[in-house]
C-alpha cells in the first residue's frame, strides 16, 4: 500500500475559508445598507457626486467586498468604495 499524500489540510475543511469570506462580505454589505447606502442613493466619494449602483461581492482580488462593499458610479467612472470613503447626500 502506498502512503497517502498529505497537504496540510484536513478533509472537508477547504470551504471554511470561503464561507468565512462570504459571511464577512455579507456583513459588510448589510452594514452599508443599514447606514442608508442603498442602490439608487446619491452619495459623495470625497467631494465627487455619485450614485450607488450595487454591492461588491468579490471574494478574490485587490478590492474585496468585505473592505469595499459599495459600487458607485461617478462622472469619472464606476468604482468600488469603502464606507469611510463615501457620505450620503
**pLDDT at 68 exceeding the cut of 80:** yes
Q: Is residue 72 part of a domain?
A: yes
pTM beyond 0.95: the answer is: no
Residues 6 or more apart whose CB falls under 8 angstroms from that of 52 comprise 37, 38, 39, 40, 41, 43, 70, 71, 72
Q: Is residue 73 part of a domain?
A: yes
Average pLDDT over residues 6-27: 71
Q: Is residue 45 part of a domain?
A: yes
pLDDT, the chain, mean: 89
| Counted domains in the chain | 1
Residue-number span of the structural domain to which 47 is assigned: 38-89
Residue 46 CA to residue 72 CA, distance in Å, equals: 12
Q: Is residue 32 part of a domain?
A: no
Amino acid at each position: 500500500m502506498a502512503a497517502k499524500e498529505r497537504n496540510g489540510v484536513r478533509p472537508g475543511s477547504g470551504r471554511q475559508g470561503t464561507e468565512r469570506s462570504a459571511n464577512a462580505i455579507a456583513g459588510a454589505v448589510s452594514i452599508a445598507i443599514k447606514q442608508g447606502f442603498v442602490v439608487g442613493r446619491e452619495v459623495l466619494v470625497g467631494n465627487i457626486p455619485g450614485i450607488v449602483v450595487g454591492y461588491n461581492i468579490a471574494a478574490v482580488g485587490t478590492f474585496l467586498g468585505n473592505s469595499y462593499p459599495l459600487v458607485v458610479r461617478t462622472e469619472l467612472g464606476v468604482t468600488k468604495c469603502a464606507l469611510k470613503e463615501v457620505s450620503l447626500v
